[in-house]
Amino acid sequence: MQMPELPEVETTVRGLTPVLLGQRLASVEPRRADLRKAIPVDLRQRLTGATVTALGRRAKYGTIATDRGDTLIFHLGMSGRWRVDPVEVEPHDHLLIETDAGRRLALNDPRRFGFVDLWSTADLTAYPPFMAMGPEPLGAALTGGHLRAALAGRRAPIKAMLLDQRIVAGLGNIYVCEALHRARIAPGRQAGRIGLPRLERLVDAIKAVLLDAIAAGGSSLRDFAHPDGALGYFSKQFLVYGREDQDCACGVPVRRRTEGGRSTFWCPACQRG
R_g of the chain computed on alpha carbons: 20
Rounded Cα distance between 77 and 8, Å, is 12
Q: Which of 58, 60, 104, 198 is catalytic?
A: 60
Residue 270 CA to residue 273 CA, distance in Å, equals 9
Q: Select which of 4, 7, 187, 227 is catalytic.
A: 4
From the candidates 31, 111, 243, 262, which is the catalytic residue? Answer: 262
- Please give the Cα distance from 97 to 99 (Å, whole number): 7
Q: Which of 5, 8, 10, 178 is catalytic?
A: 5
State the Cα–Cα distance between residues 105 and 16, nearest whole angstrom. Answer: 9
Cα–Cα distance, 17 to 51 (Å, whole number): 13
Total count of residues recorded for the chain: 273
Q: How many CB atoms lie within 10 A of CB 222?
A: 11
Q: Please give the single-letter amino acid code of residue 133.
A: M
Secondary structure, 3-state, 34-102: ECCCECCCCHHHHHCCCEEEEEEEECCEEEEEECCCEEEEEECCCCCEEEECCCCCCCCEEEEEEECCC
> Strand pairing partners for 269?
none
Decide if 18 is catalytic: no
Known catalytic residue at 262: yes
B/e letters for 137-159, b = 16+ CB within 10 Å, e = fewer, are: bbeeebebebbbebbeebeebbb
The answer to whether 44 is a known catalytic residue is: no
Contacts of residue 3, defined as CB under 8 A and 6 or more positions apart, other chains included, come to 60, 76, 77, 78, 79, 113, 172
Residues noted as catalytic:
4-5, 60, 262
